[in-house]
Structure 1
Amino acid sequence: METNFPDHPLIGLLLRLVYQHYAQDIDATLSEAGFGDIRPSHANVFPFVPPEGITVSGLAELARVRKQTMAQAVDQLERMGYVERRPDPHDRRSRLVFLTERGASVKPVTHATATRVEERWAELTSPEELETLRATLLRLLTELRAE
């Protein structure tokens, strides 16, 4: 372990630092693929928009951010052509967020990059350790959401 870490670093710090490496790789690939206008705050939108659309409130809940924060991200992405809002067929007062064709083309880029990042992490540790980490984080997240 690097000497600038404490003897027993907090897991939250380690998760944040590892995520920063992950996000840098995703951002670089998005930029290379012509999506250089996407910002980190927009990452709260793309993974949570289903084909049938979703409200801003629903997005905020899934991403675990404030509704105002999500509304700002959706507004920006709408202006940039990644998402569009359409009337909700089940509630005339509500609007649903959908990915546009451009927005849908972001997912394959991020998924391919994420796969490469995980493959690299498996090389740096081992495939077994990475799968144990995934299972542990998934179990922890499931328990936290159940509370």
Structure 2
Amino acid sequence: MSESPDLPSSIGVLLRLLNQNFSMHVGQALAEAGFGDLGQMHSNVFTFVPEEGIQVSELATLARVRKQTMAQAVEELEKRGYIERHPDPSDKRGRLVFLTEKGKQVRPTAMQAGEKVEAHWSELLGEKELEDLRRLLQTLLRKLSEEGPA
């Protein structure tokens, strides 16, 4: 594949640029809904917190980020009233992260905005092509996950 004059050929750079586009649109929708104090690093928390709560280390594993990065995001979101932490009944030293009522309002707004972005991408690429891209990315992530950490 040859590099076009205005676009890189590196898949990593292309994925990053597409992620930035996606995040910009979702961030804009969140800001319009009154959640302007959220950044891209916070999305990993909202994406992976289940109703029954989760430990920070598990969140970090699911989001594939460093534990320190996740701990910082959780701390910021707790200060802003989006999450709260409670003792983990199955681990005396552990604490579980839960979404507050305010935090629970973020996910539907972000999901709707994400769906709009994907619908637009589908219009630009074609529905089959976007689904092929989704399937290929899922397959690659699954295979990398099966390999385990490097």
2:71 corresponds in structure 1 to 71
Distance in 1 (alpha carbons) for counterparts of 2:60 and 2:135:
25
Aligned equivalents of 2:58, 2:86: Cα separation in 1: 15
Q: Distance in 2 between matches of 1:37 and 1:3?
A: 36
1:94 paired with 2:80, answer: no
Partner of 1:125: 125
- Deviation at 1:65? 1.1
Whole-angstrom CA distance in 2 between matches of 1:80 and 1:71: 14
Q: Secondary structure at the match of 1:45?
A: helix
One-letter amino acid matched to 1:39: G
Between the aligned residues of both structures, percent identity stands at 54
Written as runs of structure 1 = structure 2, the 5 A alignment for 1:12-27 is: 12-27=12-27
**SS of alignment partner, residue 86 of structure 1:** strand
Gap regions ≥5 residues in structure 1: none
Residue aligning to 1:4: 6
Q: 2: distance between equivalents of 1:116 and 1:126?
A: 14
Cα deviation for residue 3 of structure 1 reads: 2.7
Query: What is the TM-score with the length of structure 2 in the denominator?
Result: 0.93
Q: Shift of the alpha carbon at 1:2?
A: 5.7
RMSD over aligned CA atoms reads 1.2
Gapped regions of structure 2 (runs ≥ 5): none
Structure 1 residue 34: Cα displacement:
0.1
Q: TM-score when scaled to structure 1?
A: 0.95
Q: What is the Cα deviation at residue 5 of structure 1?
A: 2.4
Q: Distance in 2 between matches of 1:80 and 1:146?
A: 36
